């Protein structure tokens, strides 16, 4: 497809702005290019990338979809669409996009990794393990994939495999607290471990002194560590959802309400709808906050009751 010189110039300006992390300038250049040539996949791909960086995820998903429509052979379009849909929690559509991308290019590490994340969320642990292993096969230095594999194996009480991947994660990212905690948990079940969890709970100095050199006993501490591991993981997931709620629901609802308030001639029905949307977003946010507070208290209580 022939690209007019003016459009090509705008694309160059947009890419330069992206390199400088000037997202607004990049967005304006891509939007101008879109107005001149709306059927060019590169324009939609660049605009989608900018929207993703500015956390305008619905718009990012729309333009990645346009990429896949205009160029159905572009693997990166499907992989990127799947990654955005994962964040939007549209998991079935995300899986379909990621699988199509991997059919077009089976060497896309990020495609397998994102599939692993989604399958784990859905409780499809065998598929998650398979996806993470494919990601590691393509990129053995992917620390996050090793950590997630370690967690999956620990959840299934496959302790040797869990230890292997937690250790790999620590080789790639030394002093990573999540990997240290997981390794301590897994080694405790294999016996003879002297690795304390790095930050499962915050302890005062006297408590650290008390347990610093004491080995974890699988018989006495195994179930406790397993419960703490699960609660901590759940806490992390909820915290991530809290951030997503702030970035997505509340931000969009507030933007719609602010826009409606700016115009005196906004119909009352539209204003009421914006207010209702904002209130619902706030309700969801408060619910997540309350759940997060309960889980935080649970982790603290479990830490205080750590068996001696």
Please give the average per-residue pLDDT across 77-96, as a whole number. Answer: 94
Given this model, what pLDDT does residue 18 score?
85
- Rg value, the chain, Cα: 24
DSSP character string of 47-74? HHHHHHHTT-HHHHHHHHHHHHHH-TT-
What tokens does 216 get? 């974890």
Write the burial class of residue 290 (CB in 10 Å: 0-12 exposed, 13-18 middle, 19+ buried). exposed
18, 49 in Cβ contact below 8 A?
yes
* pLDDT tens, position by position, 204-258: 334 344 444 444 444 444 444 455 555 555 555 555 555 555 555 556 665 665 5
Whether 52 shows a pLDDT value over 80: the answer reads yes
Please give the average per-residue pLDDT across 16-38, as a whole number. Answer: 89
Which of 24-33, 94-103, 286-295 is predicted least confidently? 286-295
Given this model, what pLDDT does residue 21 score?
85
Given this model, what pLDDT does residue 270 score?
65
Tell if the pTM clears 0.75, that is, is over it. no
Whether 180 shows a pLDDT value over 50: the answer reads yes
Please give the average per-residue pLDDT across 141-154, as a whole number. Answer: 93
* pLDDT tens, position by position, 97-136: 999 999 999 999 999 999 999 999 999 999 999 999 999 9
Instruction: From 133, 173, 127, select the one nearest 150 (Cα to Cα).
Output: 133
């Amino acid at each position: 497809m022939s690209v007019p010189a003016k459009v090509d110039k705008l694309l160059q300006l947009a890419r330069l702005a992206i390199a400088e992390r000037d997202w607004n300038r990049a967005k304006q250049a891509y939007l101008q290019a879109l107005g001149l040539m709306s059927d060019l996949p590169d324009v939609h791909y660049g605009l989608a990338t900018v929207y993703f960086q500015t956390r305008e995820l619905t718009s990012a998903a729309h333009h990645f979809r346009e990429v896949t429509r205009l160029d159905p052979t572009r693997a990166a379009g499907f992989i990127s669409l799947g990654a955005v849909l994962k964040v939007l929690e549209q998991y079935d559509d995300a899986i379909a996009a990621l699988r199509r991308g991997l059919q077009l290019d089976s060497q896309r590490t990020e495609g397998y990794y994102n599939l692993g994340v989604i399958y784990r969320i859905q409780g499809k642990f065998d598929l998650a393990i398979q996806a993470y292993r494919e990601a590691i096969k393509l990129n053995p230095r992917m620390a996050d994939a090793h950590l997630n594999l370690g967690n999956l194996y620990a959840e299934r009480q496959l302790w040797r495999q869990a230890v292997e991947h937690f250790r790999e994660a620590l080789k790639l990212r030394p002093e990573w607290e999540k990997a240290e905690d997981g390794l301590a948990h897994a080694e405790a079940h294999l016996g003879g471990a002297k690795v304390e969890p790095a930050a499962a709970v915050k302890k005062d100095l006297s408590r650290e002194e008390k347990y610093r050199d004491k080995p974890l006993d699988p018989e006495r501490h195994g179930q406790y560590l397993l419960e703490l591991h699960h609660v901590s993981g759940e806490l992390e997931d909820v915290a991530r959802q809290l951030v997503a709620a702030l970035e997505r629901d509340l931000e969009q609802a507030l933007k719609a309400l602010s826009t409606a308030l700016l115009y005196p001639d906004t119909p009352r029905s539209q204003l009421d709808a914006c207010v209702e949307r904002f209130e619902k977003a706030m309700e969801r946010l408060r619910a997540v906050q309350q759940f997060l507070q309960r889980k935080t208290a649970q982790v603290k209580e479990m830490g205080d009751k750590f068996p001696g």
